[in-house]
């Protein structure tokens, strides 16, 4: 099956071999004493290739090299650092289809979404290049005559990046491209469920760094599960750990990093809802809800998990959705006629099944029946049917993020109630309202509206652009990545006051004469 859809040649061009080392400081790959981890495609269950895990000793080498590299990189002018990131963006343009294909095959999202993910990397490179000529600080007026006061932003040091399987490459690039123009160096632990995508990115970036005669250690790779993640979170040499994944994982990272007073930047679970008002354009509402719920097989942190529908249009939305679900084609993500690919692995399938049965025990009614697909093309055991369940917001399963295509439907009559339901979950990542009524839209966006980091009008909950700050509140972890001024998380602020007068007046008018 590797030959089908040109996977084999794409792997070749990306530098992926049957057995790959997994620990790298740039261009130098380090042999460790650890075993090799197999990466299996959820599309067909086949072993794609193996990657060697990082051990403590090789981790130490990586950190030492990163420390050395930082001494150099922090003094390279920011626009020069931007120039390197510009070249990385161009290198990504060249491999867009190969990398998109690997992401799709290793993770299971559709090829179109794989391409979209690489585009997101290219976009953040462009953004970071522009940023490299900005990174603005403010100037303030000093209360003392002959004094100047301003603030400037300096790099922070080594940034540890822990990324999740569902966006195996884009979320790394949001962090590392911004961190790089900020003057930081990065150590990346990709998800152990999609390690080859990490190895491929390391090859791409290493070539650019080498062509620019840059030292080893600016962008490093380590491979492993939570144990390797713990190396990063407990390491006082790593001032910032950016972690994407489950709320459970995020709490552990936050405690470890917080315990040493380091900084963590967390992008964790979502439980995103769309409110569909009777004033909505229902064509847009149905399409937005459909892509939000079944895109990436419901495995985005921005996936739509709940639809809160006004009672007067409830029946219409319900029947149009049910008929749209009937048209979904499920199958190999590389085959462009399919809309929905597999879940990441059979553990995820089990969680999907459990969630459906528990929601039913709680009183949920399955409108579009879920289930695991079997037979030809579904041998990996990872393909499931997107399902719709009528439920109530307080159900334990509705309160919980299940990374699968399960959509819960509920009813409201007053907008206040809909907003309370939308906010009535522990997570706070993304949200949306579908309405053409300006008052409803603005109420949803106001301080007493959505409590999420992302709030959209007439757009679904997923598919954010890189230009905005990405992240959310409550159990989503509070971090902001990607665009806007998210770069500030990767730098340290320094306030500078300069006295150019011929005396030394003290602030607050304090007298201290001798």
Q: Which residues bind ligand UN1 (CB under 6 A)?
A: 120, 166-167, 171, 244, 300-302, 462-464
CA–CA separation, 83 and 89 (whole Å): 10
- Looking at beta carbons only, is 32 or 476 nearer to ligand UN1? 476
Indicate if 267 belongs to the active site. Answer: yes
122 within 8 A of 96, measured Cβ to Cβ? yes
Count Cβ atoms within 10 A of the Cβ of residue 438 and give its class: 0-12 exposed, 13-18 middle, 19 or more buried.
exposed
What is the smallest separation between the CB atom of 264 and ligand UN1, expressed in angstroms? 16
d(CA 182, CA 64): 20
Q: Which is nearer to ligand UN1, 76 or 445 (CB)?
A: 445
**At its nearest, how many Å lie between ligand UN1 and the CB of residue 171?**
6
Q: Sign of the CA dihedral 264, 229, 351, 332?
A: positive
Min dist. Cβ of residue 438 to ligand UN1 (A)? 25
Residue from 177, 165, 19, 173 nearest 103 by CA: 165
The residue behind tokens 């303030």 is: 140
DSSP letters of 317-367? HHHHHHHHHHT--BS-TTSTT-SB---SSHHHHHHHHHHHHHHHHTT-EEE
Which of 209, 432 has the CB closer to ligand UN1? Answer: 432
- Number of residues written out for the chain: 514
- 267, 401, 440, 475: the catalytic one is 267
Of 345, 249, 254, 436, whose CA–CA distance to 43 is shortest?
345
Nearer to ligand UN1, 232 or 454 (CB): 454
244 in Cβ contact with 471 (< 8 Å) = no
Helix axes 282-294, 311-326, angle to 10 degrees: 50
- Nearer to ligand UN1 by Cβ, of 277 and 302: the residue is 302
Residue nearest ligand UN1 (C-beta atom): 464
d(CA 499, CA 125): 39
Which CB sits closer to ligand UN1, 208 or 344?
344
**Which residues are identified as catalytic?**
267
């Amino acid at each position: 099956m590797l030959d089908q859809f040109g996977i084999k040649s794409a792997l070749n061009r990306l530098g992926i071999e049957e057995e790959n080392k997994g620990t790298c400081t740039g261009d130098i790959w380090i042999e460790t004493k650890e075993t090799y981890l197999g990466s299996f495609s959820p599309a067909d269950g086949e072993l794609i290739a193996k990657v060697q895990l990082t051990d403590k000793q090789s981790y130490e080498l990586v950190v030492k090299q990163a420390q050395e590299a930082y001494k150099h990189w922090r003094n390279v002018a920011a626009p020069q650092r931007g120039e390197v990131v510009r070249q990385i963006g161009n290198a990504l343009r060249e491999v867009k289809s190969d990398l998109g294909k690997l992401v799709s095959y290793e993770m299971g999202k559709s090829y179109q979404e794989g391409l979209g993910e690489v585009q997101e990397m290219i976009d953040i490179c462009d953004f970071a290049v522009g940023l490299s000529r900005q990174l603005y600080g403010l100037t303030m007026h000093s209360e003392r005559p002959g004094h100047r006061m301003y603030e400037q932003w300096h790099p922070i040091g080594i940034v540890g990046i822990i990324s999740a399987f569902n966006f195996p490459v884009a979320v790394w690039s949001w962090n590392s491209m911004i961190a790089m123009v900020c003057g930081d160096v990065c150590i990346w632990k990709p998800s152990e469920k999609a390690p080859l995508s990490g190895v491929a990115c390391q090859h791409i970036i290493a070539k650019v760094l080498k062509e620019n005669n840059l030292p080893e250690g600016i962008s490093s790779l380590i491979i492993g599960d939570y144990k390797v993640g713990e190396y990063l979170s407990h390491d006082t040499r790593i001032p910032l750990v950016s972690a994407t994944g489950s709320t459970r994982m995020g709490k552990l990272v936050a405690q470890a990093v917080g315990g040493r007073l380091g900084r963590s930047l967390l992008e964790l679970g979502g439980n995103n809802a769309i409110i569909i008002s009777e004033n909505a354009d229902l064509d847009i509402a149905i399409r937005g809800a459909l892509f939000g719920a079944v895109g990436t097989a419901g495995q985005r942190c921005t996936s739509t998990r709940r639809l809160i529908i006004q009672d007067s249009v409830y029946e219409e939305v319900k029947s149009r959705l049910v008929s749209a679900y009937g048209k979904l084609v499920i199958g190999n993500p590389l085959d462009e006629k399919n809309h929905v690919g597999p879940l990441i692995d059979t553990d995820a399938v089990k969680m999907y099944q459990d969630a459906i049965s528990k929601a039913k025990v709680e009183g949920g009614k399955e409108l579009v029946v879920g289930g695991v697909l079997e037979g030809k093309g579904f041998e990996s055991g990872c393909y499931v049917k997107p399902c719709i369940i009528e439920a109530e917001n307080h159900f334990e399963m509705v309160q919980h993020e299940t990374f699968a295509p399960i959509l819960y439907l509920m009813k409201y009559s007053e907008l206040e109630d809909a907003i309370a339901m939308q906010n009535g979950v522990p997570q706070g990542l993304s949200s949306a309202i579908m309405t053409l009524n300006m008052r409803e839209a603005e109420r949803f966006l106001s301080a007493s509206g959505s409590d999420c980091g992302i709030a959209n009008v007439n757009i679904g909950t997923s598919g954010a652009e890189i230009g905005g700050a990405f992240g959310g509140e409550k159990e989503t972890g509070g971090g902001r990545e990607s665009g806007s001024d998210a770069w500030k998380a990767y730098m340290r602020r320094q306030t500078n006051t300069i006295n150019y007068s011929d005396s030394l007046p003290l602030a607050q008018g304090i007298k201290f004469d001798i």
